Amino acid sequence: MRMNNPQLDADGRLKHLLSIEGLPKKILNQILDTAESFVGVAEREVKKVPLLRGKTVCNLFFENSTRTRTTFEIAAKRLSADVISLNVNASSQSKGETILDTINNLIAMHADMFVVRHAQSGAAHFIAQHVPAHIHVINAGDGRHSHPTQGLLDVFTIRKYKPDLHNLRVAIVGDILHSRVARSEIHALTTLGVPEIRVIAPKTLLPTQVEKLGVHVYHDINVGLKDVDVVMMLRLQNERMNGAMLPSVQEYFKTYGLTQERLALAKPDAIVMHPGPMNRGVEIDSSVADGRQSVILPQVTYGIAIRMAVMAILAGGQAGGAQ
């Protein structure tokens, strides 16, 4: 019996992108392969394809963002969509309007797609449950829960530098407990067959029973980084910590910060990733962030192709990608 998956239609096609969890490998590969065809669009003189011409994409960011908001906007424009980025602070939400009333008003203006970031876990799911069938919802990060396009762009970046996913050792380091990015990365890497995922963090920054996600737990970074192919650093999410979980940021850097000496424990060709925003001198040393093994800025660039792919697939126009 097929379980009801709110992200897929009756034919198993992507209807909304709400989380990586529950998405079949076929859909993840469809997004990654479609994104490949969009990478080259950025190198054209006219950086546009007509796949979303006549469609209206609404960016609804109820929480701060630099990379995700901007790259979604660029991606939608490169697909020739009309893009509205609602200024939430200046919208009727600040006058007490419910999120569904805001959404219904935008639907009355013929919006076709919503890109939603919200501090509450489940916000994008909630909206997806209430929109008519022809409207698509993309989760751009909800609370601690999920950040699916970040997980996808991270896997896309890894695939670019390390094409054989079935032969990789990946370490995710830092504040796993509060990180929607870590959760999405773990689900994406697991579904795509990465054999060894390590999480490296103090006990206070790990979810209970994190092993159930299929990861190996390390508390000592000097042990956990040994011979890994990919080092993914995470930001300390101070805004999500309820009370003191760490002695100090200086102490955290001393114990878990990625320095050149620690990076030397990984494989010599290991890549260093970070989803941003990055706190230099807290989770990562500047010399590593800007060093030769860092692929932090390519992650941002590939985020555009991934977001183009997701929107094109949702709109039913991925075939041939960048024609």
Residues that bind ligand CP (CB under 6 A): 65-69, 141, 147, 150, 275-277
Catalytic residue among 147, 178, 187, 198: 147
Tell the smallest beta-carbon distance from residue 67 to ligand CP (Å). 4
- Cβ-based nearer residue to ligand CP, 65 or 104: 65
CA–CA separation, 115 and 69 (whole Å): 9
- Cβ-based nearer residue to ligand CP, 141 or 321: 141
Residue reference for tokens 């007509």: 50
Radius of gyration in angstroms for the set of CA atoms belonging to the chain, rounded to a whole number: 19
67 labelled catalytic:
yes
Handedness of CA 62, 154, 224, 255 (dihedral sign): negative
CA 284, 289, 291: angle at the middle one, nearest 5?
A: 130
Query: CA 64 → CA 61, 70, 143, 233, 234, distances in Å?
Result: 7, 11, 12, 20, 17
Q: Hey, what amino acid is at 172? A: I
Tell the smallest beta-carbon distance from residue 278 to ligand CP (Å). 10
CA–CA separation, 282 and 254 (whole Å): 9
Q: If you ran DSSP here, which 8-state letter would residue 71 be given?
A: H
- Cβ-based nearer residue to ligand CP, 141 or 257: 141
Tell the smallest beta-carbon distance from residue 175 to ligand CP (Å). 13
Q: Which residue is nearest to ligand CP (CB)?
A: 68
Beta strands in 143-186 (DSSP E): 169-173
Catalytic residue among 2, 26, 95, 212: 95
Report helix, strand or coil for 249.
helix
CA 139, 308, 73: angle at the middle one, nearest 5?
A: 70
- Cβ-based nearer residue to ligand CP, 81 or 273: 273
Closest listed residue to residue 53, CA positions, set 306, 315, 322: 315
- Per this entry, what is the length of the chain? 323
307 labelled catalytic:
no
Catalytic residue among 117, 118, 183, 187: 117
Q: Provide the token pair at 208.
A: 């209970």
Catalytic residue among 34, 68, 71, 149: 68
CA–CA separation, 306 and 153 (whole Å): 6
Tell the smallest beta-carbon distance from residue 308 to ligand CP (Å). 16
Beta strands in 131-235 (DSSP E): 136-142, 169-173, 196-200, 216-218, 230-233
274 labelled catalytic:
no
- Cβ-based nearer residue to ligand CP, 276 or 321: 276
Q: If you ran DSSP here, which 8-state letter would residue 245 be given?
A: -
Tell the smallest beta-carbon distance from residue 72 to ligand CP (Å). 9
Tell the smallest beta-carbon distance from residue 232 to ligand CP (Å). 12
Tell the smallest beta-carbon distance from residue 147 to ligand CP (Å). 6
- Cβ-based nearer residue to ligand CP, 214 or 298: 298
- Cβ-based nearer residue to ligand CP, 68 or 191: 68
267 labelled catalytic:
no
25 labelled catalytic:
no
Catalytic residue among 67, 77, 216, 267: 67
Which strand (E) or helix (H) includes residue 314? helix 296-314
Residues designated as active site: 67-68, 95, 117, 147
